[in-house]
Amino acid sequence: MSTQMSKDVGCPNCGTAVRTEMWPGICAQEHPELRSHILDETFFDWTCPHCGYSAQFEYPCLYHDRERRFMIYLAPTGSGQEFKPVDVSEKFPQLAGVTKRVVASPAELKEKILIFESGLDDYAVELVKLGLSDVLEQKDGIKTLRAYFCGADESANRICFAFCQEGKNGFTLRKTSMDAYHKSLEITERFRGNDENLFVPVDSLTARDMLDEYFAEEA
């Protein structure tokens, strides 16, 4: 179920208290327009009606897709790894079988939605992304700052990411084959933890841990 509230937010520019609509709970089926705003990156846009000052107004919220059975909790704090996994099996037994994630930014929330709507496994997608990022770093000697999943096409054997590299402006599109995804899925199935009842972050650090375990075993 979607939940809505409103709150007075002080404009950082002119100080006017602006009544601001917030959605602590977002249901994809109930409010498809909210999903669209997350995907077109306007969901957290905030403008002062008095002076026109605009900014991003980010707040914690829970995104729920009932049909595809996933929930993503956005806690805008910087890093999803700051969260200890939260066990919800006792309080919310109805969430068994629902994929549960914690993310730290609106960009990561959008990425998770795109991954799960594509029917992909996010552990495997993170592994592919990490592999691609390591290859780019070795080839160009440039570190990846951020990278996000953009889309996948099984028939064209293609999976795409947007990379933001150190010292470069904007994002560059990088793609690799879905074979890399399927290979990653095999690794994932061996090394992922049991997260059935947990809200967990799944990001590049998670992927690095799985890769370390994989290489330790292969060695």
- Interface residues with Zn ion (CB under 5 A) are 11, 13-14, 16, 48, 50-51, 53
Residue-wise DSSP of 1-47: --EEEEEEEE-TTT--EEEEEEEEEEETTT-HHHHHHHHTT-TTEEE
Decide: 133 and 144 in contact? Cβ < 8 Å.
yes
- Closest contact distance (angstroms) between CB of 5 and Zn ion is 21
Cα-based distances in Å from 198 to 4, 101, 178: 25, 8, 28
Minimum Å gap between C-beta 131 and Zn ion is 46
Nearer to Zn ion by Cβ, of 15 and 24: the residue is 15
- Comparing CB distances to Zn ion, the nearer of 15 and 32 is 15
46 vs 59, beta carbon nearer Zn ion: 46
The position carrying tokens 């006792």 is: 90
- Rounded Cα gap, residues 75 and 120, in angstroms: 23
Considering the complex, what minimum distance in angstroms separates the CB of residue 19 from Zn ion? 13
Q: How far is the CB of 109 from Zn ion (least distance, A)?
A: 27
**Nearer to Zn ion (CB atom), residue 48 or residue 180:** 48
Q: At which residue do the structure tokens 């990411």 appear?
A: 161
In the bound state with Zn ion, the residue whose beta carbon lies nearer, of 3 and 47, is: 47
Note whether 10 and 16 are within 8 A (CB): yes
Question: One-letter amino acid identity for 187?
Answer: I
What's the min distance (Å) between Cβ of 56 and Zn ion? Answer: 15
Nearer to Zn ion, 7 or 182 (CB): 7
Q: What DSSP string runs through 88-102?
A: -TTT-GGGTTSEEEE
Tokens coding 124: 């495997």
Helix (H, G, I), strand (E, B) or coil at 168: coil
Extract the tokens encoding 104: 């730290």
Q: In whole angstroms, how close is the CB of 20 to Zn ion at the nearest point?
A: 12
Structure tokens given for 128: 């592919």
